[in-house]
């Protein structure tokens, strides 16, 4: 049984950087990764803005040294790249030295390849391998294979936008219960016509830069990204004399079962998730120094999350908060892991990121996100990931165990 859950490595690729260092530099410089669509041939390419990663699939394949006949989806390519950076960052030379698992989150899976080869599937045998990579678990299997994890727990979580936060949560619980010594946790999602069309039908995509918690917010920018963390037990940290980046202090998951795609107007699910995370961490609300908000810039989410924050922290005790989705776009299943990396970087550097693009206070409540880069001693950060179907998750990160 492990008392603490240490984070010893992390890796990331997003629209604002190809690794952890580049992402942090963009965060502190206020550099947005939002642009018009350039890599997907969609009828909506002039209607919306997204967070695209600069690398083409060919470039990613070359970086990973894959053969030309591989059947990696873009989701898998991004996932492998970020997971490998996390393992390298953790200084792991022998992945099988301890009981090690992989928990990866995705929503779109191999849809990008399915879209490309769907109509050739029955007539061209060569294309069938791409359709075989459609299912959500395929990218997880490829990540595990690339890391050399073949005889341990390898599983996939797909709970919409809370997926990667739930992967972190499950990994932490497996370490605390002694079932695993080390878990690589995170999420990966690429842009696809499927997600663009789906969100377009919901009428929640913005044709300009997204503006979290702004009265005049128009909707979200979809993004693609991948991020992974290495979680390790006390025993591994001690035996290997590991440098600890941060700790997973608490976590909570709740479902308000309010609507298929909308959150409760009063933030019931988010409230329950935050309260449960605080309970697991054995913390009072006043211990939180910064909230990394889900903040999608949709009318429903920002109102719901804002009300939940007020319910948990009280009208006059809300800590500094901001959303980083104006930087990267909403990266769906990867969002919880992306923002976990951002939260850990905030802890390490005692900095709160600005809530970009904000202009007008929401009329429903008086709380305002942090609007400029702020230096402040940080010990504990709470990060929200609120998903479709009311699936809401909160993870708390701390400097100390």
Q: How many CB atoms lie within 10 A of CB 150?
A: 11
* CA–CA distance, 125 with 128 (Å, rounded to integer): 5
Burial of 75 (C-beta count, 10 Å sphere; 0-12/13-18/19+): buried
**Backbone angles phi and psi of 224, in degrees to 5:** -120, 145
| Tens-place pLDDT, residues 61-113 | 999 999 999 999 999 999 999 999 999 999 999 999 999 999 999 999 999 99
Buried b (16+ CB within 10 A) or exposed e, 296-319: bbbebbbbbbbbbbbbbbeeeebb
Count of other CB atoms within 10 angstroms of residue 128: 13
Over residues 385-400, the pLDDT tens digits come to 998 778 999 999 999 9
Which pLDDT band holds residue 2 (cuts at 50, 70, 90)? Answer: low
Q: pLDDT category, 215, cuts 50, 70, 90?
A: very high
pLDDT for 1: 60
Average pLDDT, the chain: 95
Catalytic residue among 44, 266, 317, 330: 330
Active-site position among 134, 135, 259, 294: 294
DSSP 299-325: HHHHHHHHHHHHHHH-TT-PPEEE--H
Give pLDDT, residue 233.
97
CA-closest candidate to residue 72, choices 8, 152, 141: 141
- Band of pLDDT at residue 28, cut at 50, 70 and 90: very high
Average pLDDT of the residues in 13-41: 97
Of the candidates 134, 161, 190, 392, the residue annotated as catalytic is: 161
Active site includes 330?
Answer: yes
Q: Is 265 left (phi over 0), alpha (psi -120 to 50) or beta?
A: alpha
Interval 304-343: pLDDT, tens: 999 999 999 999 999 999 999 999 999 999 999 999 999 9
Q: Which of 265, 217, 219 is nearest to 362 (CA)?
A: 217
Percent of the chain with pLDDT over 70: 100
pTM more than 0.95: yes
Compute the distance between CA of residue 276 and CA of residue 269 in angstroms, rounded to an integer. Answer: 11
Convert the pLDDT of each residue in 230-282 to its tens digit.
Answer: 999 999 999 999 999 999 999 999 988 877 777 888 899 999 999 999 999 99
Whether residue 161 lies in the annotated active site: yes
pLDDT at 262: 77
d(CA 149, CA 345): 27
pLDDT digits (tens, 9 = 90+) for 155-199: 999 999 999 999 999 999 999 999 999 999 999 999 999 999 999
pLDDT in tens, 217-232: 999 999 999 999 999 9
- Specify whether 44 is catalytic: no
């Amino acid at each position: 049984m492990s008392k603490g859950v240490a984070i010893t490595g992390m890796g990331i690729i997003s629209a604002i950087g190809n690794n952890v260092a580049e992402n942090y530099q963009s965060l502190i410089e206020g550099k947005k990764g939002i642009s018009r669509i350039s890599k997907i041939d969609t009828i909506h390419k002039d209607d919306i803005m997204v967070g695209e990663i600069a690398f083409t699939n060919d470039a990613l394949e070359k970086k990973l040294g894959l053969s030309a006949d591989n059947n990696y989806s873009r989701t898998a390519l991004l996932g492998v790249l970020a997971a490998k950076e996390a393992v390298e960052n953790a200084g792991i030379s022998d992945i099988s030295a301890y009981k090690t698992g992989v928990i990866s989150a995705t929503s779109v899976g191999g849809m990008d390849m399915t879209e490309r080869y769907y109509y050739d599937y029955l007539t061209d045998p060569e294309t069938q391998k791409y359709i075989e990579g459609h299912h959500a678990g395929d990218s997880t299997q490829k990540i595990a294979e690339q890391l050399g994890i073949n005889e341990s727990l390898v599983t996939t979580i797909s709970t919409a936008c809370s997926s990667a936060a739930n992967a972190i949560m499950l990994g932490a619980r497996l370490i605390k219960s002694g079932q695993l010594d080390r878990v690589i946790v995170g999420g990966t999602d690429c842009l696809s016509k499927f997600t663009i069309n789906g969100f377009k039908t919901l009428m929640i995509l913005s044709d300009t830069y997204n503006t979290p918690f702004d009265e005049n917010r128009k909707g979200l920018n979809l993004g693609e990204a991948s991020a992974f963390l290495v979680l390790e037990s006390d025993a591994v940290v001690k035996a290997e004399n590991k440098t600890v980046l941060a700790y997973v202090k608490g976590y909570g998951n709740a479902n308000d079962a309010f609507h298929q795609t909308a959150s409760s107007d009063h933030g019931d699910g988010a409230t329950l998730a935050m309260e449960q995370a605080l309970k697991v961490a054995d913390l009072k609300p006043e211990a939180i120094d910064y909230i990394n908000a889900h903040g999608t810039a949709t009318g429903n989410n920002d109102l719901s999350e804002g009300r939940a924050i007020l319910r948990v922290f009280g009208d006059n005790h809300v800590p500094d908060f901001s959303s980083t989705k104006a930087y990267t776009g909403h990266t769906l299943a990867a969002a919880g892991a992306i923002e976990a990396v951002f939260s850990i970087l905030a802890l390490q550097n005692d900095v709160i990121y600005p809530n970009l693009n904000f202009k007008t206070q929401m009329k429903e409540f008086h709380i305002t996100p942090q609007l400029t880069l702020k230096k402040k001693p940080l010990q504990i950060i709470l990060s929200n990931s609120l998903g479709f179907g009311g699936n809401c998750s909160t993870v708390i990160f701390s400097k100390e165990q």
